[in-house]
């Protein structure tokens, strides 16, 4: 079985005081054991070392991005090897905010995933369609093209989690219905089965992101192909603990 996965993407939020408060909530929360759920929180780069050192040991950390290749003269970037050196096990790549606002193409995201994996990082790779694309009926084409650009560059999927995050659901309060999420997750799994392998399709976690809350997580988690969540806004609040508990 695929172990339930809950990621908290803090995005570009937080002061030192707020980070202390969130870490306290995370450390005091009652959650299922690590053989039931894998929890990964993703603060901004500058808070990664402090969060990693203060967080309960059963929770892991992720960076929200990294550079596409080996570090060097790339002002403002952080390399995968730096994250590995700091003991940061995970990185989120291809988030829709970076695709849309910073111009990251499918190919660039594929290159980033391959390089991060080569440096020993585990990757949460994000895919998802815009409202316009959904209304045009091209959801699966878009998501397949984003996944294909990754599949072309990697062989080993064991350290990859796919996050399906429909852009229209991100930060909007408009969560996908459980059926909408299930439909895309099942199609994605089918795509992996045909284009990668049945084993990879069966073992790769496909998590949902977009306006997940303590109130809507249970219904989504009940769907057979929803293997967890990538949570934005609610990951900064006590209800993140409830979302972790939707694993059981």
Six-digit token string for 185: 């997750």
Which SS3 state, helix, strand or coil, does residue 140 take? helix
Angle, to 10 degrees, between the axis of helix 178-195 and the axis of helix 139-151?
40
Residue 176 CB neighbours (<10 A) = 26
Catalytically active residues, by annotation: 95, 165
User: Is residue 171 part of the contact set for ligand 13P (CB under 6 A)?
Assistant: yes
Binding residue for ligand 13P (CB under 6 A) from 139, 180, 211, 216? 211
Binding residue for ligand 13P (CB under 6 A) from 31, 201, 212, 243? 212
Binding residue for ligand 13P (CB under 6 A) from 39, 113, 233, 247? 233
Q: Which residue is nearest to ligand 13P (CB)?
A: 232
* Residue pointed to by tokens 């999927």: 157
Judged by CB under 6 A, which stretch of 26-34, 48-56, 164-172, 237-245 contacts ligand 13P? 164-172
Question: DSSP code of 184?
Answer: H
The Cβ-side half-sphere exposure at 23, using a 13 Å CA radius, reads 22
C-beta closer to ligand 13P: residue 111 or 239: 239
Q: How far is Cα 30 from Cα 5, in angstroms, rounded to an integer?
A: 16
User: Is residue 210 part of the contact set for ligand 13P (CB under 6 A)?
Assistant: yes
User: Is residue 232 part of the contact set for ligand 13P (CB under 6 A)?
Assistant: yes
Residues 6+ apart with CB under 8 A from 25: 237, 238, 240, 241
Binding residue for ligand 13P (CB under 6 A) from 165, 225, 227, 239? 165
Binding residue for ligand 13P (CB under 6 A) from 231, 243, 244, 247? 231
Q: Which residues bind ligand 13P (CB under 6 A)?
A: 9, 95, 165, 170-171, 209-212, 230-234
């Amino acid at each position: 079985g695929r172990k339930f996965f809950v990621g908290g993407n803090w995005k570009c939020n937080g002061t030192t005081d707020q980070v202390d408060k969130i870490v306290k909530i995370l450390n005091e929360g009652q959650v299922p054991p690590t053989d039931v759920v894998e929890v990964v929180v993703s603060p901004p780069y500058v808070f990664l070392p402090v969060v990693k050192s203060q967080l309960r040991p059963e929770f892991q950390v992720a960076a929200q991005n990294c550079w596409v290749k080996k570090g060097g003269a790339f002002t403002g970037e952080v390399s995968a090897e730096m994250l590995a050196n700091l003991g940061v096990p995970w990185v989120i790549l291809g988030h829709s905010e970076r695709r849309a606002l910073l111009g990251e193409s499918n190919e660039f995201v594929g290159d980033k995933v391959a390089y991060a994996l080569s440096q020993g990082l585990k990757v949460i790779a994000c895919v998802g369609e815009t409202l316009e694309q959904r209304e045009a009926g091209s959801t699966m084409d878009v998501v397949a093209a984003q996944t294909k650009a990754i599949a072309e560059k990697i062989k080993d999927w064991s350290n990859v989690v796919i996050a399906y995050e429909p852009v229209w659901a991100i930060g909007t309060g408009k969560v996908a219905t459980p059926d909408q999420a299930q439909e895309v997750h099942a199609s994605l799994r089918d795509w992996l089965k045909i284009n990668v392998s049945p084993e990879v399709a069966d073992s790769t976690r496909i998590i949902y992101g977009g306006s997940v809350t303590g109130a809507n997580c249970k219904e989504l988690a009940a769907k057979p192909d929803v293997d967890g969540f990538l949570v934005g806004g609610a990951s900064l609040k006590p209800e993140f603990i409830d979302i972790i508990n939707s694993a059981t």
